[in-house]
Structures are given as C-alpha cells and as structure tokens.
Amino acid sequence: MTRSDTPLGVDYLTPEQLDGCRARGWADVLGVAVFSSGEVPLQATEVPLARVAVRPLGDRPAVCEVWRSAGPFDSGTAGLVHYRTNGQFVFGRVTLAEADSDGNGFRFATERAYAEVFRCLETLGFPHIIRIWNYLPEINREVGGLERYRQFNEARQRAFKAFRGQVNGNVPAACALGSPPGGSLVVYFLAGADAGIAIESPRQMSAYNYPPQYGEFSPTFARATLMRAPAQPMLFVSGTASIVGHRTVHPGDVLAQTRETLINIRALVAEANRIAGGQLFAAEQLKYKAYLRHPGDMRIVVDELRRALQPAEPVVYLNADVCRADLLVEIEAVGIGGPPQAH
C-alpha cells in the first residue's frame, strides 16, 4: 500500500459504540466530533475530540462522528490545536471561547482559531486542508450592526490571506452552522499530505465570489474537495443549501429548499465525476448530515430524502441555525468512491 492509498472512513456512532473504540485502544481512530446538547461523559483521551453543542434530532441524544484511518498515529497539541496524524491525514480541532469585550471578540476568536490551525499544519508539515467544519455560537445574531456570520467571514478571510495569500480557488470544503449562546467557537478539520481538487458547482456561484449584498467579505470555501487517491477516491461535499447562483430560493418553504439542495448536491456529484474522469461517486452512496433550523421540519425533510434520494446509509439529522437567516436546511456529505468505471 503506497502512502496515498491509506484509507480514510467516517462512521456515525453512539457514545456506547465510541466506548468500544476506546476499548480497542483507538487503534483505527483519527479523530472524533461529538454532537450533543447535553454533557456527554467522555474520558480524556489522546484522540482529538471536538465537542459540538448541536443537538441530534430523532431519538439519539448524541452522535459521534468517528474518522478512521490506519495507524500508527502520532497525537499531540500544537498551540491550541489538538491533533492526530498517521503521516497521510491529520484530524485537528480547536475550541475557543470569545473574549467578551467590545463586539470584536468574535472576530478575534475566529482569526485566532484559524491562525492556530494554519500554524499547526505548518508545524506538522501538512499543507493541504481537505475539509473544515465551523460551529459558531449565535451565527445569525447581529452585533454592532453586523451579523456574527459576516464577522466570521471577515476574520476567516484575513487568516487565509495572512497564511495562504489566497482567498479563492484552491480553498477547502467547509460548512458553517450555528450553536447555542454562551458556547465556544468549535473548528475541526481534516488535512492531507496530498492536495485535493476544489470543485465548484455548475448551479451556484462560487461562495468566494458572492456579491457584497451577502457581506463585504465573502465566505472562503469550495463547494467540494475531490481526493483522487487511486484505490479510494473521496469526495467531501460542503454544506449545501437552497442557493442558485448567489440567491436563496424558496424562502420559508422547507420542502422546496430540500429539493433544491438535493439538485445542487447531484449537480456537484456529477461535476466531481466529470473532473475525476469516471463515475466514481453516486449521490445515493454518500454519507449525509442534514442541519435543520426548525426541529419541527424533520418529518418533511426525512420523507423527501427517502423519496428523492434513498440514501444507502442513515442520514444524521442535527438542529442548527444555518448561515443565512432565510435558509431552513443545509446538507453536507462524504463519499468514498470505488475504482473508476468506464463511461
């Protein structure tokens, strides 16, 4: 197995199943994100663990997103980042409370968190962020005349400029969701020794080109990252919502938003297959996380995903605010492809 064929996978487990991973000495675990609105009692571990105060919907009190790869691993901290790596992939997380001061606290926290991520990757010698997850307390609240998501975008851009000299084109896949008041900014990421390919959508304007009506500073992310390791191509689909071009479509209509989001995801999968030069990915085979602004919309979204997508794996549903106040649903996905098929 060459280094670039080191496998990577993700599973959505219960806390009890996570205890099983612990019992096996975390032998194949790269990193974990735990989604729960309550206190999940978890023992300290060398495995980086991102605790996200976002509530699973349905009957699961906590969802553990477990990233797996092949050991041996090296774990540690670099500045504020807890990381674990096997030489091919790094999982890292940073959790930062914002200084309550003059309304700039959230910008400072964001810029600091990103600076810590970039410095950690410099220290470890991993240049390429594949995917980054952002959970922002009170994402839609306006402070000092500016929505916190827009403050986040400003600070994230500054950090990308300072450390990468670039805020468009080759940027990671991402998502940005809200979390409850009083919590911390939580950022976790996957980085790789090999560069991925940033994929943009044929139906959506690249977010880094959004016009100023969505904020003076555009979001810094790609619609997806394609990893082309021959044995195991992977696709990381960013948080995807009911946006066509740069506009929100179907405000107030969660069913229509869900349909539009699925059309966007299918278009992105087709684009990734086109760029990969084969039918590596199928929308039905991806693993999905769906974020709903209103828990009461769950039934509608579940039924529509069953009807229009029939996903092979169960979808994880989470209750979170989405970055535009008129968006009711956002869906992200990971795909692990098979070897290329001829057209």
How far is the CA of 168 from the CAs of 111, 160, 172, 199, 238, in angstroms?
17, 9, 10, 12, 15
State yes or no: residue 323 binds ligand 3EB (CB under 6 A): yes
Q: How far is the CB of 13 from ligand 3EB (least distance, A)?
A: 24
Q: What single string gives the DSSP state of each residue in 136-165?
A: EETTT-EETTEEHHHHHHHHHHHHHHHHHS
Decide if residue 136 touches ligand 3EB (CB under 6 A).
Answer: no
Q: How far is the CB of 299 from ligand 3EB (least distance, A)?
A: 23
Amino acid at position 25, single letter:
G
Binding of ligand 3EB by 201 (CB under 6 A): no
Q: Which residue has the tokens 């998502």?
A: 175
Total residue count of the chain as it appears in this document: 343
Residue keyed to tokens 């979808």: 315
**By C-beta, is 205 or 298 nearer to ligand 3EB?**
205
Residue 239 as a binder of ligand 3EB (CB under 6 A): the answer is yes
CA 86 – CA 72 distance, rounded (Å): 6
Nearer to ligand 3EB, 136 or 227 (CB): 136
Q: From edge to edge, which strands make up the β-sheet containing 74-78?
A: 74-78, 81-85, 89-96, 185-192, 128-137, 173-179
Which listed range, 27-35, 173-181, 191-199, 267-275, lies at the site for ligand 3EB (CB under 6 A)? 173-181
Using CB under 6 A as the binding rule, whether residue 317 contacts ligand 3EB is answered as: no
Q: Is 330 a catalytic residue?
A: yes
50 lines the binding site for ligand 3EB (CB under 6 A)? no
Ranked by CB distance to ligand 3EB, the top (closest) residue is 239
Q: Are 224 and 268 in contact (CB under 8 A)?
A: yes
Q: Does 35 bind ligand 3EB (CB under 6 A)?
A: no
Total residues at interface with ligand 3EB (CB under 6 A): 12
Shortest spacing between CB 166 and ligand 3EB, in angstroms: 16
Query: Residues 98, 111, 271, 330: which is the catalytic one?
Result: 330
Q: Which residues contact 104 (CB under 8 A, 6 or more apart)?
A: none
User: Which amino acid, residue 120?
Assistant: C
Q: How far is the CB of 114 from ligand 3EB (least distance, A)?
A: 12
Q: Coil, strand, or helix at residue 71?
A: coil
Least distance between ligand 3EB and beta carbon 124 (Å): 23
| Residues near ligand 3EB (CB under 6 A) | 134, 174-176, 207, 219, 221, 238-239, 241, 243, 323
Q: Which residues carry out catalysis?
A: 330
